[in-house]
Chain A
Amino acid sequence: MQAYIIRRLLALIPTLFVASLIVFVSMRLIPGDVIDQMLAQNDVATSADRALVEEALGLDQPMYIQYFRWVGGIMRGDLGNSLWHNTPVTAQLAETLPITFQLGLLALVVALTVAVPIGIYSAMRQDTAGDYIARSFSLLMLSIPSFWLGTLVMVFPSVWWRWSPPLEYTPFFQDPIQNLSHMLLPAVLLGLALSAVTMRMTRTMMLEVMRQDYIRTARAKGLAENLVIARHALRNGLIPVITLIGLQAPLLIGGAVILEQIFVVPGMGLLLLEAVFARDYPVISGIFLVTGVAILMINLLVDLTYGFLDPKVRY
């Protein structure tokens, strides 16, 4: 097991190398130039000013030099400085990453608590009214973009009841209640979006599992139906669902970017948006890198959970 984890972590290195290359190159392909934006803030700008700024930021060097500098920095735990604020990118990430992590985790909890029980219910009551309602709900969640739902939640309560969701961020460890009252709504919206596919998958897998011979064996032993489901069906049914959650990790992170924007959650998503508008390359690259690592780690975690649930998987 330990050897397996170390092997998996080592295997991450080439993946991350390729990812860093893609991040770096795609960054330079974004139209618009950070220098233009900076200089536009001054009324008059000469080409001499431009050269000065470029040199100061290291952007006068050839691309490959810039890349190796950046990678060299990563090795030392240095992701460079923000082009605008002159603060280290690592500091900005350290500040925003935990917030996005909290949002993602809350969303995942919401997604699972909604999706798994309803998915099971739907399977057990196949083709009844309850099943149709659950499936329609899941289809609805699948097709409604969360930014639209988020906007609705922002606009309509304030029009109807003169109430709008709190938008002030408080760190969790400072005041958990205050923090959750702000974070819960975006987490629910994000979680519902995730729950759609998870619910369908849970339903499909439970239906599949309930047809298996070992379920008939469990019934023939005299187990009541709830024990048949809880002890014999659930674990078998959830194995593929766990994999699905790993595959949805990018969706989770993408959704977080949008919902942070709507609900003014000062997480990595909000930072990313600002950085993209400002063409703040080091910040964008840093976020992409961290996101990439996060997705890879989530998948590693999923694989480990898989091994825990399925005795046939051995490391």
Chain B
Amino acid sequence: MSEAIAASGAPALLRVENLSVRFRTDRGMVRAVDGVSLHVHAGETLAIVGESGSGKSVTALSLLRLIGDNGEIEQGRILFDGVDLGRLSGAEMRKVRGNRIAMIFQEPMSSLNPVLTIGKQVAEPLVLHQGLSWQAARKRAVELLARVSIPDPVDRLDSYPHHFSGGMRQRVMIAMALACDPKLIIADEPTTALDVTVQAQILALLKALTRETGAAQILITHDLGVVARYADRVAVMYGGRVIESASARELYANPKHPYTQGLMASVPSLDSDPGRPLQTIPGQPPDLANLPPGCAFAPRCAYARDLCRQGKPPLESIGPQHERACYGYE
């Protein structure tokens, strides 16, 4: 479906062009995101995959312009529904957050306010963005909680987060994110902190709900295993850059970047021989404060040549809907 949308040439719901973000830290300037370009169409799920520290969360947060006081968007454009978010005033940007773009975070245990009731927290965006009274918003909150399959939603309105398990809290977060019918939902490793069985439930729920509402989704994960089942397209990040992007099917069948191939080899799959040990990529993820001048993956890459250590390879098209940032090794 998504390939059809992409091929139809309809403008993307979200288009990120050449985004760079840097942070002031004790160790100097750190460029966490370096020239990232992405796009997501309506109704589509884009997965952003990469090891921890590769800049996935920073990319997501900068879409909402929530990177904090020590961070700065150096360059790039974020076009959402035809509007350049970088040009919006603070007040205009707040009308986008939680309303047209909603976000779900990694840590369900700490992402809900411990002193406010679930009802109040789920109702809050409705009061804020749709001007509902608290009473009306509470009624809507019951429906939202029911939609994310929280049992006895009426009774749970006055519960506090500590009464809920991690999986249930993440459901509450999803209900909150859905409140204003956003066009884009960004889920930043929504299941990393959860049990494996709960993980599958939450991801299935997210997939079903986005399909139902027609919202687009950016699903951030460090788990390539998740991607095949829940994403339409995939962008693989390494050292703050997108190093490969393709449709999920294409990426699985035909990974073209040595890093993606390494990741793939480290994912257990159903048809792999259970007796064979999984491979891991040797070496350490790059230190962003101290990146090599060339390709960030070169120090770990079996195919690295002199060229790779001198300049950063640009992201180039290598086939239909398939891009890769690599000088090649064939």
Task: List A residues at the B interface (Cβ < 8 Å).
Answer: 212-214, 216-224, 231-232, 235-236, 239, 309-312
> Which applies to chain A's interface (DSSP): helix, strand, loop or mixed?
helix
A to B CB contacts below 8 Å, 17 in the list:
A216-B66, A216-B105, A217-B105, A220-B97, A220-B98, A220-B105, A221-B98, A221-B124, A222-B95, A222-B96, A222-B98, A222-B129, A223-B98, A232-B116, A236-B115, A311-B117, A311-B160
Our pick among A221, A232, A236 for the contact of B176 (Cβ within 8 Å) is A221
Residues of B within 8 A of A235 (CB): 115
Our pick among B91, B97, B114, B160 for the contact of A221 (Cβ within 8 Å) is B97
Known: A311-B162, A312-B162. A218 touches B176 (CB 8 A): no
User: Is there contact, CB below 8 Å, between A219 and B97?
Assistant: yes
Task: Please name 6 further chain A to chain B contacts, defined as beta carbons within 8 Å, in addition to the given A214-B114, A220-B64, A311-B160, sorted by A numbering.
Answer: A214-B110, A214-B113, A218-B113, A235-B115, A310-B114, A311-B162
Does B194 lie at the interface of the complex (its beta carbon under 8 Å from any beta carbon of A)? Answer: no
Closest-by-CB residue of A relative to B96 is: A222
Residues of A within 8 A of B116 (CB): 231-232
Residues of B within 8 A of A214 (CB): 110-114
Residues of B within 8 A of A220 (CB): 64, 66, 97-98, 102-103, 105
Residues of A within 8 A of B96 (CB): 222
Q: Which B residues from 40 to 84 make CB contacts under 8 A with A?
A: 64, 66
Q: How many residues of B contact A (CB 8 A)?
A: 29
Residues of B within 8 A of A216 (CB): 66, 105, 111
A224 to B116, CA, bound (A): 18
Task: List B residues at the A interface (Cβ < 8 Å).
Answer: 64, 66, 91, 94-99, 102-103, 105, 107, 110-117, 124-125, 128-129, 160, 162, 173, 176
A311 to B160, CA, bound (A): 7
Residues of A within 8 A of B176 (CB): 217, 221
A216 to B115, CA, bound (A): 15
Residues of A within 8 A of B162 (CB): 311-312
User: Is there contact, CB below 8 Å, between A236 and B113?
Assistant: yes
Closest-by-CB residue of A relative to B159 is: A311
User: Is there contact, CB below 8 Å, between B160 and A312?
Assistant: yes
Closest-by-CB residue of A relative to B160 is: A311
Distance between B96 CB and nearest chain A CB, rounded to angstroms: 7
Closest-by-CB residue of B relative to A218 is: B113
A231 to B117, CA, bound (A): 12
Distance between B196 CB and nearest chain A CB, rounded to angstroms: 23
Closest-by-CB residue of B relative to A227 is: B128
User: Is there contact, CB below 8 Å, between B98 and A213?
Assistant: no
The 8 lowest CB-CB distance pairs between A and B, nearest first, are A221-B98, A222-B97, A222-B98, A213-B110, A214-B113, A311-B160, A222-B94, A220-B103
User: Is there contact, CB below 8 Å, between A217 and B94?
Assistant: no
User: Is there contact, CB below 8 Å, between B115 and A311?
Assistant: yes
User: Is there contact, CB below 8 Å, between B125 and A213?
Assistant: no
Distance between A223 CB and nearest chain B CB, rounded to angstroms: 6
Residues of B within 8 A of A310 (CB): 114-115
A93 to B124, CA, bound (A): 51
Distance between B309 CB and nearest chain A CB, rounded to angstroms: 38
A217 to B175, CA, bound (A): 13
A235 to B120, CA, bound (A): 15
